[in-house]
């Protein structure tokens, strides 16, 4: 890594679930004790051999949220650990959906065992609700959040905006029937996401209070650097507010457009580091007029440099 990349303040941007692949993370868990501890912790707390499922599948198991959320988080934390060893100067972190938990870990707000305990509970809660209230999620291209809101009102739709990803990409979630009716009526270009439920929608409402109760018993510290949270798109330092944001996270829109705008609009914008098993952030950032490719690096590019 060159001197400028090492000394320049960096924003860590952690991926969430939605794009699982057999073999993801397989190049990370060999030869590093700290990283092996991350994967062992995820497996021990969940009772699932996360490494094995990532390596051999089957995909229909990896896509299930109790596995996928843990696997994505283990990958995120592995890359973060390697970046720490490179001496990256971190000034802010954020994460998309479950990636927000990795951002809090990077900021020192949550310890490793607490992190995986929390994600295991969150994922199990979401999984049980997804069996009770069956649904899915669709990515929509070429539409901003205001237009989509109008479309949903016109359609009298029972769908919710799960993720406001950029001015040209949205994600809606809801029941399978509502998604099918929406697609037929609007004829939008859509992509069905590789998830097993309708996250960040009203179908997850019954999980909010259990999340509040569970979080109340866990230690969360004040972050050591800014963490931009999904529910608001703004930084939060207060542990009580962080707990409430994580609870509302189940039903509220991921305000990713606001998060990325907040990063790009800074007077001295940080270097953006895409932390994911497969680069994804550039596809969204290209929708922002203030973005230039020189402001973004994928974590693998940094780790490959001497």
Res 3: pLDDT: 39
- Alpha-carbon dihedral 207, 208, 210, 215, rounded to 10 degrees: 130
In this structure, the answer to whether residues 177 and 165 fall within a common structural domain is: yes
Q: Domains in the chain: how many in total?
A: 2
Q: How far apart are CA 306 and CA 297, in angstroms?
A: 15
In this structure, the answer to whether residues 205 and 188 fall within a common structural domain is: no
Query: What contacts 35, CB < 8 A, 6 or more positions away?
Result: 28, 29, 78, 81, 82
In this structure, the answer to whether residues 217 and 289 fall within a common structural domain is: yes
16-64 per-position pLDDT tens digit: 987 788 999 888 887 789 999 999 999 999 999 999 999 999 998 998 8
CA 283 centroid distance within chain: 15
Choose one of 168, 192, 216: the last residue of a domain.
Answer: 192
The band of 184, judged by pLDDT with boundaries at 50, 70 and 90, is confident
pTM metric for this prediction? 0.94
In this structure, the answer to whether residues 278 and 144 fall within a common structural domain is: no
Choose one of 144, 172, 192: the last residue of a domain.
Answer: 192
Share of the chain above pLDDT 90, in %: 75
In this structure, the answer to whether residues 145 and 227 fall within a common structural domain is: no
The angle formed by the CA atoms of residues 269, 270 and 274, to the nearest 5 degrees, is 125
Domain with 154 in it: what CATH number? 3.30.70.250
Res 4: pLDDT: 54
Is the distance from CB of 292 to CB of 31 less than 8 angstroms? no
- Alpha-carbon dihedral 183, 15, 286, 293, rounded to 10 degrees: -160
Q: Mean pLDDT for the chain?
A: 92
In this structure, the answer to whether residues 160 and 221 fall within a common structural domain is: no
In this structure, the answer to whether residues 75 and 183 fall within a common structural domain is: no
In this structure, the answer to whether residues 151 and 207 fall within a common structural domain is: no
225-245 per-position pLDDT tens digit: 999 999 999 999 999 999 999
In this structure, the answer to whether residues 235 and 127 fall within a common structural domain is: yes
Res 212: pLDDT: 98
Tell me phi and psi for residue 214, to 5 degrees.
-70, -45
145: domain range?
A: 135-192
Domain with 32 in it: what CATH number? 3.40.366.10
In this structure, the answer to whether residues 300 and 216 fall within a common structural domain is: yes
In this structure, the answer to whether residues 62 and 170 fall within a common structural domain is: no
Res 273: pLDDT: 97
65-113 per-position pLDDT tens digit: 999 999 999 999 999 999 999 889 999 999 999 999 999 999 999 999 9
Q: What share of the chain is helix, strand, coil (3-state, %, to 5)?
A: 50, 15, 35
In this structure, the answer to whether residues 249 and 279 fall within a common structural domain is: yes
């Amino acid at each position: 890594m060159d001197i400028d990349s090492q000394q320049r303040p960096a924003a860590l941007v952690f991926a969430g679930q939605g794009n699982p692949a057999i073999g993801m993370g397989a190049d990370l868990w060999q030869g590093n004790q700290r990283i092996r501890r991350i994967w062992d912790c995820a497996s021990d707390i969940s009772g699932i051999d996360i490494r094995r499922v990532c390596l051999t599948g089957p995909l229909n198991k990896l896509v299930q949220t109790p596995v996928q959320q843990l696997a994505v988080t283990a990958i995120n934390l592995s890359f973060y650990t390697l970046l720490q060893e490179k001496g990256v100067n971190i000034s802010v972190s954020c994460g998309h959906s479950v990636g927000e938990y990795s951002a809090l870990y990077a900021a020192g707000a949550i310890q490793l065992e607490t992190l995986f305990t929390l994600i295991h509970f969150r994922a199990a809660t979401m999984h049980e609700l997804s069996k009770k209230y069956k649904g899915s999620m669709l990515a929509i291209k070429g539409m901003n959040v205001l237009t989509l809101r109008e479309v949903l009102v016109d359609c009298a739709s029972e769908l919710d905006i799960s993720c406001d990803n950029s001015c040209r990409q949205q994600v809606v979630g809801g029941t399978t029937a509502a998604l099918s009716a929406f697609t037929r009526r609007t004829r939008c270009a859509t992509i069905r996401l590789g998830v097993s439920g309708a996250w960040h929608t009203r179908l997850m409402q019954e999980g909010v209070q259990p999340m509040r109760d569970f979080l109340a018993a866990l230690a969360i510290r004040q972050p050591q650097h800014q963490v931009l949270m999904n529910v608001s798109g703004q930084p939060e330092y207060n542990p009580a507010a962080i707990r409430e944001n994580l609870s509302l996270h189940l039903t509220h829109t991921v305000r990713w457009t606001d998060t990325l705008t907040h990063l790009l609009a800074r007077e001295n914008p940080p270097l953006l580091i895409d932390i994911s098993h497969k680069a994804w952030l550039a596809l969204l950032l290209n929708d922002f007029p203030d973005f230039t490719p020189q402001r973004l690096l994928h974590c693998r590019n940094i780790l490959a440099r001497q």
